[in-house]
Amino acid sequence: MAGSMSSAQLELIKTVVKDKEIAIATDNDKDGNRYAIQIREFSPDAIRDIPKNKDWNDDLKEIHLMRELMKEENINGLEY
């Protein structure tokens, strides 16, 4: 079912993360927010990192593009 984790998924997460520090890194959208809430229900101290864009892959693509642009500008003689 889209938009929520199954009870089996939640139980697996609870088992794996028991007594551990949790960092939630879900997408920056409605479902990602819902997943973070579900995880915080059993781990209220969990921290959440939110991507700047819709998801982490988009953030990584943006970082890669910026590095390529900086490399290109450096090749053309611009200094930082």
Name the β-bridge partners of 23: 47
pLDDT of residue 18: 79
Residue 76's pLDDT is what? 66
Torsion of Cα atoms, 37 then 41 then 45 then 49, to 10°: -20
CA-angle at 46, arms to 24 and 15, nearest 5°: 85
pLDDT in tens, the chain (80 residues): 466 788 898 888 888 887 888 999 999 999 999 999 999 988 899 999 999 999 999 999 999 999 998 888 776 666 55
pLDDT value at position 1? 43
- Supply the pLDDT for residue 58: 96
